[in-house]
């Protein structure tokens, strides 16, 4: 029997985005409101306490857990951003993106009709064309990391040109990285103009703004950077490049998600969220999904508004689903990613 709610894992026609019963529009640029930025306050101890209690508040088991894990797969940006990446590795990753679960698990779960795939494949610019060809006909978008990833310190004109080249190569989503110094300096106009320039180059293509939260030092900086990126037109805000010493954490994610919620209340516009880096286990995927459901509601459990930046996590999810089906854990090597 299929896991509970599994048939809603991927929606061909997503429901309208709502928050507390209010319909929301896609995000678009609005003028920089410095009052909104300056009034940001974050109670760090309260956020950390809430994050600790969040992971202990609930457990999901059996078919319900399997359904949530399928949701995690559908919201995953399957990623390879290593210095030793090759075209062959990217092609193997794309093959896994098309069929994230082994055939015997798909059949045992009864989800053949879902045609389950990941949310996107994320690669360096060099491999965009390779990924586009490998994913042809699948409907899976290719996301390119651009704008001087991961440091974001090359000249602005070069970063804009890199985005343009990735789009020309066929990228359907762009993950940009902000200049963290603008946050440290409180130069919100510079940060706003930078993100706006990137979004102008992306046009209608979804743009995720990577804040590099591990470098931002305080949750208040994280919240302020989130507000500025959203006002500048970012479609998603994303925690990390995955290259910082500290990447996605629940306190940082909770801070960003609550900024998204408050922004939606004030503007009537929805912004997506992507935690990336350090999320490696099926259990962690459940923690983040539950947080999105608690804080933002059902609309943010769709890949149009929520993504995991991950690779190794898929292998652990596959092992957990194998246990659900057989009652036994399989060896990790039986679930290669690429």
**Nearest of 223, 308, 263, 287 to residue 19 by alpha carbon:** 263
How do beta strands 22-23 and 18-19 pair?
antiparallel
Task: Out of 96, 199, 208, 274, pick the active-site residue.
Answer: 274
Task: Out of 96, 199, 208, 238, pick the active-site residue.
Answer: 238
Backbone angles phi and psi of 76, in degrees to 5 = -100, 130
Catalytic residue list contains 238: yes
Domain spans in the chain, listed from the N-terminal domain onward: 24-53+60-334
**Nearest of 326, 123, 329 to residue 242 by alpha carbon:** 123
Positions in the chain short of pLDDT 70: 1-14, 57-58, 333, 336-338
Burial 49-61 (b: 16+ CB within 10 A, else e): ebbeebeeeeeee
Instruction: Report pLDDT digits (tens) over 28-58.
Output: 999 999 999 999 999 999 999 999 888 776 6
pLDDT of residue 238: 97
Catalytic residue list contains 175: yes
pLDDT of residue 69: 96
Instruction: Report pLDDT digits (tens) over 268-327.
Output: 999 999 999 889 999 999 999 999 999 999 999 999 999 999 888 999 999 999 989 988
Task: Out of 175, 215, 235, 316, pick the active-site residue.
Answer: 175
Whole-number Å distance between alpha carbons of 289 and 90: 27
C-alpha 186 chain-centroid distance: 26
Whole-number Å distance between alpha carbons of 11 and 223: 31
Both tokens of residue 238? 């994303």
Residue corresponding to tokens 């000249």: 155
Whole-number Å distance between alpha carbons of 19 and 113: 30
Alpha-helical segments (H) within 99-171: 103-109, 128-134, 156-169
Whole-number Å distance between alpha carbons of 21 and 292: 16
Catalytic residue list contains 274: yes
Domain 24-53+60-334: assigned CATH number: 3.20.20.70
Both tokens of residue 51? 């994050």
């Amino acid at each position: 029997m299929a896991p509970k709610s599994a048939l809603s894992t991927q929606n061909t026609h997503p429901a309208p985005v709502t928050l507390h019963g209010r319909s929301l529009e896609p995000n678009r640029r609005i003028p920089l409101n410095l009052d909104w930025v300056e009034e940001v306050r974050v109670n760090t101890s309260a956020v950390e306490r809430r994050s600790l209690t969040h992971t202990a508040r609930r457990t999901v088991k059996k078919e319900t857990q399997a359904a949530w894990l399928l949701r995690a797969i559908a919201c995953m940006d399957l990623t390879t951003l290593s210095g030793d990446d090759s075209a062959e590795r990217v092609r193997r990753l794309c093959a896994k993106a098309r069929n994230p679960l082994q055939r015997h698990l798909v059949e045992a779960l009864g989800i053949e009709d879902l045609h389950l795939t990941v949310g996107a494949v994320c690669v360096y610019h060099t491999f965009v064309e390779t990924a586009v060809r490998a994913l042809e006909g699948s409907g899976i978008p290719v996301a390119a990391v651009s704008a001087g990833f991961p440091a974001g310190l090359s000249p602005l004109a070069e970063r804009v040109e890199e985005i343009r080249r990735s789009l020309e190569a066929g990228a359907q989503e762009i993950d940009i990285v902000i200049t963290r110094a603008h946050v440290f300096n409180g130069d919100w106009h510079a940060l706003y103009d930078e993100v706006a320039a990137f979004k102008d180059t992306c046009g209608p293509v979804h743009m995720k703004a990577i804040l590099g939260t591990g470098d931002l030092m305080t949750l208040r900086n994280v919240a302020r950077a989130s507000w500025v990126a959203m006002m500048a037109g970012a479609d998603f805000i994303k925690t990390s490049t995955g290259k910082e010493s500290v990447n996605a954490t629940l306190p940082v994610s909770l801070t960003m998600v609550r900024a998204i919620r408050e922004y939606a209340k004030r503007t009537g516009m929805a912004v997506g969220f992507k935690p990336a880096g350090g999320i490696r286990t099926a259990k962690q995927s459940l923690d983040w999904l539950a947080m999105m459901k608690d804080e933002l509601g059902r609309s943010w459990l769709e890949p149009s508004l929520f993504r995991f930046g991950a690779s190794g996590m898929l292998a652990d999810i596959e092992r957990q689903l194998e246990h659900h089906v057989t009652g036994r854990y399989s060896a990790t090597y039986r679930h290669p990613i690429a």
